Amino acid sequence: MLKETKKHLPKATAKRLPVYLRYLKMLQDSNVLRIKSKDFAQITQIPSATIRRDFSYLGELGRSGYGYDVPYLIEVFSNLLDTEEEKRIALIGFGNLGKALANNNFRRNANLNIVSVFDNNPAMINQEIDGFIVHDLAEFKQIVANEGISVAISTVPSKYSQEVVDIIVEAGITAILSFAPDRVKVPKGVTVQYIDLTTELQTLIYFDQEYKKVL
């Protein structure tokens, strides 16, 4: 039944799943094994109505007045997000942002691992920097195959974005995280997630100003 409902999960709900999962694990670490949506709303700062609606897409996860079973939710959400399996990641662009990502290396999730880094700067290629050998993009396809890489992160500037995404797609990768906000063209079956820091900041400023108007 879960499998059936998964297909219809709204994108906004899916985006909240990793957030829910993190807080549920924190609760479990503190030996909280049952939680009401109202209390979970307090912790996550997501409205309880949103939480109940999100959870309802996933089937019978809790009962009114009783709350949700924390270990069970963790099991369901972990399964949905498939964090059980290691994901080997290629990082393209080893400037400050690339280094920040590589050094952090998603340490909150042991299964997300940046295993190879690439740059087009000749001064960097084949050098060991911050513990990573920087590879030439010309080697991308070969290294992806050898290393069993299935995810790519691009931190290259917008003007190189399409070119780099083409190389990523050519290597058979279907999951791409891009820090260049310009939309790139990819074939069907390839998912690109964009992170646009300017947009995030503009949105923040917008909400801040809206808030001041209603005060």
Q: How far is the C-alpha of 20 from the C-alpha of 27, rounded, in Å?
A: 11
According to DSSP, the β-strands at 112-118 and 87-92 are parallel
Single residue of 69, 99, 115, 120 touching a second copy by CB under 8 A: 99
Nearer to a second copy, 78 or 139 (CB): 78
Give the shortest CB-148-to-a second copy separation in angstroms.
Answer: 15
> x/- site string to a second copy, residues 102 to 121, per CB under 8 A?
-xx-x-xx--x---------
Token look-up 């797609």 returns 169
Nearest alpha-carbon partner for 116 in 126, 107, 162: 126
Does residue 121 sit in helix, strand or coil? Answer: coil
- Max CA-CA distance within the chain? 62
Given a contact cutoff of 8 angstroms between Cβ atoms, the answer to whether 7 and 18 are in contact is no
79: contact with a second copy by CB under 8 A: no
User: In the structure encoding, which two tokens stand for residue 56, read together?
Assistant: 């309802």
Rule CB under 8 A: say whether 64 interacts with a second copy: no
Nearer to a second copy, 65 or 131 (CB): 131
What is the contact surface with a second copy in residues (CB under 8 A)?
6-7, 9, 11-12, 14-15, 17-19, 22, 43-45, 80-83, 87, 89, 95-97, 99-101, 103-104, 106, 108-109, 112, 151, 153, 174-177, 181, 183, 189, 191, 193, 195-215
